[in-house]
Chain A
Amino acid sequence: MGLFRWSQSRSLWMMHFCTGCGAVEMPPTMTSRYDMERFGIIPMATPRQADILLITGYLTVKTLKRVVRSYEQMADPKYVIGFGSCTINGGMYWDSYNTVKQLDLYIPVDLYIAGCMPRPDSIIDAFVKLREMIAKGEANGWKRYRENLEWYRTNQAKVFNVEKWSAIEP
C-alpha cells in the first residue's frame, strides 16, 4: 500500500481541461523553462488515463457538463486542481450570467491556485503541494465525491436547470 501511495504521489498524469484564458500558462510549465516532468507530471490525452483534472480558468455552465462527465470517467484516485480566481469565486466574471462561480460545489476540488492568471511558478508550487497531500493521504476529493454524490448531483442539476441528471445517459 505504501508503495502504491508513494508512486501515486510521484507519478501524476494530468488532463488539463483548457477552459479559460489561464491555459496559456500551461505550455511554459510543461516545456523547457519550467519543466514539470521533473515531478513526474505529464499531460495525458484522455481522462481515462489521467490522475489530475486541471480546470484552467472560467467554466461556463455548458462546459461544466463536459467537465463532470470527464471527471467521472477518470479512475480512482483522482484529483482536481482549480486554476485561477475564476474557479474560486468567478474572478472577473463574478457577475456573468453563464459562468460557474464556485467550482467545488459541482466537483470536489483538492487544491486551488489563486491568481489571475497564476504564474508557472505557482502552478509548480501547487503540484508539489499536491504531491505532499497525496503522500499524507489528505487529497481525497474522490472519496468525498463518492460519499456525497447526491449533494453534488443536486447542485449540478440546479445549475443545469434540470430535474435530475446523471453524467452518462444509459
Chain B
Amino acid sequence: MTFWVIASYFLGGIVAYVLARPSRKIGAFVALLFSIYPLYALIPALDGGFYLRFTVIPYYLHLSFRLTLLGWFFALIAATLYSLSLFSAYSEKRDSFFLLSSMFSAGGLMGVFLAADYLTLFIFFEIMAFFSAFTFIREHRRSALKYIIYSLVGSYAFLAALLVINRSTGSLEITPLSGFGGSVPAVMSLFILAFWVKSAVMPFHPWAPSAYADSPHSYTPFFSGALSKSGVYGLVLAFFYIFAGFFKSHHAFGYIFAWIGALTALFAGIYALLQDDAKKLLAYSSISQLGYVAFGLGLGTSLSITGSLFVALGHAVFESLLFFVIAAVYIRTGTTMLTEMGGLIKKMPISFIALLFGIIAAAGIPPTVGFPGKWMLYEAVLEKGYPLLAGAIFAASITAFLYCYRLIYSIFLGPLKKEFRDVREAPFPALVPLLLLLIPLLFFGLFPGYVVDVTDSILREFGYLGVPHTPAKLLSGLGTFNGLAVGITMGAAFVIAFLVHAVFSRSRKVSELNNYTAGEVAEGVSMHYVADFYKFIERELHGFLKLRVEALFNWIAEGIGGLGEVLRRVYAGDIQAYLVYLILFLGFLFTLYRGVLRW
C-alpha cells in the first residue's frame, strides 16, 4: 500500500500528462483522482509499522519504504495540500507539463516521508527538488536555477554524510547512530544541511523568496506548505532519531540552533513587512514560521518539539491558505503586487474572509491553528529559562501582526482601483481550497488536543514524554491554554458587542469618495496608503537591512562564476549542464567511496 501511495503520484503524473494533451479538463480530473488515492490510503494507516523493500537493480539499488508516525503526519499534510492545489491549478488553466512535474514532485515528497533508508531518501529528495523546479523553470529560469543550486549544495552534503555513515556502519538503513567518536558533529552538520536548506532557515534562505514568488501561484501553497516540511521532517529525524544521542548530550548545539531559528523568525518577519509583492511577503512569512519550527527543535524539550510540529502543521494550513488566496486574486486581477490592488473586499468577499482567517492564524491569534504551537514554544522556552530567546521570538511574532495587516489592507481594504471596478469573485475551483482549509484552521485551534494526540505518540517513539492535554486544553506545568474556552468566550463576547452595535440606529452606507479629506473630493487621486507602508521601520533599520547573507552568497557565486566561465565554454549552460555536473560529482563521490581516497 505504501508503494502505491508513492507510485500513484508518478503513475498519475504520466497519465495526466498524456490525457491533458487533448483535454485539459480530463487531465486535471485524472490528476486529482490519482492524488486523492494516497490521501484515502493514508488516513486509516495511523498504526504504521509497515515495511516494504523492493529491488530496482539487483545488488546495487534497492528502495525501501516504511510508514512511521512522523512520516505519516507529514505525508498526510502534503497529500492534502497537493490535492487542494490541483483545484486551484485547474482554475489557472495549467498545462500538461505542469501536471507532470508537480505530480512527480509530490511523489518525490511522499518518498522522502516514507523512505526507510538513506539512499531512497536521497533519490526521492532529488526527484522532489528537480521536479518542483521544473514547474516554473520555463517562465522563471533564474530563480529556478537558484533554487536547484541551493538544493544541490544541500544534497551533496547529504550524500557525503550518507557515504560516511555507510562506511562506518555498513548499512544504509535509517537507524539511530551511536559512536564514531569525534566526527559526529561534522557528519551531522553535513547531514542536516540538505534539510536546513530545504526548510529555508537562515542563512540558507535566499532561494526561497524568489522561488516562492515565481513558482505557479497554485503550486506555491504546496511548495511552501508541504515541500518545506521535508526539511522539517529531516531535521526532526536527525535531531531526535538518528543523532539523538549526540543531540541530547550536547546542549550547546541545540541552543545555538534555537537561536538560529529565533533570529530567522525575527529577521524574516522584518523583511516580510518591507516587501511590495504579496508572494514575496508570504515567502518571508513562511521562512519566519519555519524559524519558529527550527527554534522549537533546537530547544529539544517535549513541549517545544510538540510546539514545533504544531507550528509545522499550522504553517501548512494557514500559509497555504494565504497563498491560495493570492492565487485566487491573481486569477481575477492578474497581479500580485500589493501596490496595484486595493478595495477588493467588495468584489471578492469569500476570498477576503479566507484571507482574514488566514492572517489571524498567521499572526497566531487564538482560537486558530496558529496559536497553540506558538504557545507551547513560549512555555517551553520559559520552562528552560531563556528569557532572551523568548524575547526574540516574541518580537518575531509582533512582526507577524505588521505584515499580516499590510497584506490584507493592501489587497482587500482601502479604495477600489478603477481597473478592478468589474472584477468578480474567483472561480469556484479556486475557492474550494480556501473553504476546505478554513475547517482545520478553526478546528485545530479550538481542539489542539487532537493534534497533540498524534505528536505525543511521535514523541514517545523518540523516547520523550508527551504533553498533558485534553482535546481542548493544553497543560504545560507552567500554564494552561484552553482553545475551546477562548473560542466560546470569544463567540459570546462577539454576540454582546454585536448586540450593542445592532441596538442603535442603523447606519447608512456611503461611497468611498465620501471621506474626510478636509472638504475636498479626492477623485482621480489615489487614496491608498500602500507603498512604503512601513517606511518608518525601514528608516530606523537602515544599517541593519544593508547586511544581507545574500550579498555574501553572491560574492561567493561571483568567485565560482569566474570558474564557471571556463566550464561555460564546454557546456551550453542550460539545465543539462547542471545535470552533467551532478553526474560528475556523483562519479567523484563514487571514487571517494571506492576507497581511492581514504577517510
**Which A residues fall within an 8 A CB radius of B?**
46-48, 65-67, 69-70, 73, 168-170
Chain A CB within 10 Å — which of B513, B514, B519 has the most?
Answer: B519
Interface assignment of B520: CB less than 8 Å from any CB of chain A = yes
**Assembled-state Cα–Cα distance A47/B514 (Å):** 12
Contact A66 B513 (CB under 8 A): no
Write the nearest CB–CB distance from A28 to chain B, whole angstroms. Answer: 25
Interface assignment of B26: CB less than 8 Å from any CB of chain A = no
Beyond A169-B521, A170-B513, 15 additional contacts (C-beta under 8 Å) are A46-B516, A47-B516, A48-B516, A66-B518, A66-B519, A67-B519, A69-B519, A69-B521, A70-B519, A73-B514, A168-B510, A168-B513, A168-B521, A169-B513, A170-B511
**Which B residues fall within an 8 A CB radius of A?**
510-511, 513-514, 516, 518-521, 523
B517 and chain A: residue at smallest CB distance: A69
* Shortest 10 CB-CB contacts between residues of A and residues of B: A66-B519, A46-B516, A168-B514, A69-B519, A70-B519, A169-B521, A48-B516, A168-B513, A170-B511, A169-B523
**Assembled-state Cα–Cα distance A65/B520 (Å):** 9
Chain A CB within 10 Å — which of B510, B518, B520, B523 has the most?
Answer: B518
B507 and chain A: residue at smallest CB distance: A75
Chain A CB within 10 Å — which of B510, B513, B521 has the most?
Answer: B521
**Assembled-state Cα–Cα distance A67/B520 (Å):** 10
Contact A66 B511 (CB under 8 A): no
Chain B CB within 10 Å — which of A65, A168, A170 has the most?
Answer: A168
**Assembled-state Cα–Cα distance A70/B517 (Å):** 9
**Assembled-state Cα–Cα distance A20/B519 (Å):** 17
- Name the A residues within 8 Å of B511 (CB-CB): 168, 170
- Name the B residues within 8 Å of A170 (CB-CB): 511, 513
B518 and chain A: residue at smallest CB distance: A66
**Assembled-state Cα–Cα distance A70/B519 (Å):** 6
A69 and chain B: residue at smallest CB distance: B519
**Assembled-state Cα–Cα distance A69/B519 (Å):** 6
A4 and chain B: residue at smallest CB distance: B504
Write the nearest CB–CB distance from B38 to chain A, whole angstroms. Answer: 54
Contact A66 B520 (CB under 8 A): yes
- Name the B residues within 8 Å of A67 (CB-CB): 519
Contact B516 A73 (CB under 8 A): yes
- Name the A residues within 8 Å of B516 (CB-CB): 46-48, 73
**Assembled-state Cα–Cα distance A48/B507 (Å):** 13
B520 and chain A: residue at smallest CB distance: A66
**Assembled-state Cα–Cα distance A91/B479 (Å):** 72
- Name the A residues within 8 Å of B513 (CB-CB): 168-170
**Assembled-state Cα–Cα distance A169/B513 (Å):** 8
- Name the A residues within 8 Å of B518 (CB-CB): 66
Write the nearest CB–CB distance from B30 to chain A, whole angstroms. Answer: 50
**Assembled-state Cα–Cα distance A73/B514 (Å):** 8
**Assembled-state Cα–Cα distance A66/B521 (Å):** 9
- Name the B residues within 8 Å of A73 (CB-CB): 514, 516
Write the nearest CB–CB distance from A87 to chain B, whole angstroms. Answer: 17
Write the nearest CB–CB distance from B380 to chain A, whole angstroms. Answer: 46
**Assembled-state Cα–Cα distance A153/B365 (Å):** 50
- Name the B residues within 8 Å of A66 (CB-CB): 518-520
- Name the B residues within 8 Å of A48 (CB-CB): 516
- Name the B residues within 8 Å of A169 (CB-CB): 513, 521, 523
- Name the A residues within 8 Å of B514 (CB-CB): 73, 168
Write the nearest CB–CB distance from B514 to chain A, whole angstroms. Answer: 5
Write the nearest CB–CB distance from A16 to chain B, whole angstroms. Answer: 13
- Name the A residues within 8 Å of B510 (CB-CB): 168
**Assembled-state Cα–Cα distance A46/B515 (Å):** 10
**Assembled-state Cα–Cα distance A91/B409 (Å):** 49
**Assembled-state Cα–Cα distance A47/B523 (Å):** 19
- Name the B residues within 8 Å of A69 (CB-CB): 519, 521
Write the nearest CB–CB distance from B77 to chain A, whole angstroms. Answer: 47
Name 11 A/B residue pairs within 8 A (Cβ), A-sorted. Answer: A46-B516, A48-B516, A65-B519, A66-B520, A69-B521, A70-B519, A168-B510, A168-B513, A169-B521, A169-B523, A170-B511
- Name the B residues within 8 Å of A70 (CB-CB): 519
**Assembled-state Cα–Cα distance A154/B516 (Å):** 24
**Assembled-state Cα–Cα distance A159/B511 (Å):** 26
**Assembled-state Cα–Cα distance A24/B227 (Å):** 67
Write the nearest CB–CB distance from B308 to chain A, whole angstroms. Answer: 47
- Name the A residues within 8 Å of B520 (CB-CB): 66
**Assembled-state Cα–Cα distance A66/B517 (Å):** 10
Write the nearest CB–CB distance from B53 to chain A, whole angstroms. Answer: 72
**Assembled-state Cα–Cα distance A169/B519 (Å):** 12
**Assembled-state Cα–Cα distance A168/B513 (Å):** 7
**Assembled-state Cα–Cα distance A69/B516 (Å):** 9
**Assembled-state Cα–Cα distance A73/B519 (Å):** 9
**Assembled-state Cα–Cα distance A69/B511 (Å):** 14
**Assembled-state Cα–Cα distance A143/B222 (Å):** 59
B519 and chain A: residue at smallest CB distance: A66
- Name the B residues within 8 Å of A168 (CB-CB): 510-511, 513-514, 521
**Assembled-state Cα–Cα distance A47/B511 (Å):** 16
**Assembled-state Cα–Cα distance A9/B527 (Å):** 36
**Assembled-state Cα–Cα distance A72/B514 (Å):** 10
A76 and chain B: residue at smallest CB distance: B505
Write the nearest CB–CB distance from B508 to chain A, whole angstroms. Answer: 10
Write the nearest CB–CB distance from A94 to chain B, whole angstroms. Answer: 25
A17 and chain B: residue at smallest CB distance: B519
A47 and chain B: residue at smallest CB distance: B516
B521 and chain A: residue at smallest CB distance: A169
A45 and chain B: residue at smallest CB distance: B516
Write the nearest CB–CB distance from B366 to chain A, whole angstroms. Answer: 33
**Assembled-state Cα–Cα distance A169/B518 (Å):** 15
Write the nearest CB–CB distance from A49 to chain B, whole angstroms. Answer: 9
Write the nearest CB–CB distance from B22 to chain A, whole angstroms. Answer: 50
**Assembled-state Cα–Cα distance A88/B47 (Å):** 88
A49 and chain B: residue at smallest CB distance: B516
**Assembled-state Cα–Cα distance A73/B510 (Å):** 10
**Assembled-state Cα–Cα distance A155/B32 (Å):** 68
**Assembled-state Cα–Cα distance A170/B516 (Å):** 15
- Name the A residues within 8 Å of B519 (CB-CB): 65-67, 69-70
Write the nearest CB–CB distance from B503 to chain A, whole angstroms. Answer: 12
**Assembled-state Cα–Cα distance A156/B497 (Å):** 41
- Name the B residues within 8 Å of A46 (CB-CB): 516
**Assembled-state Cα–Cα distance A65/B519 (Å):** 8
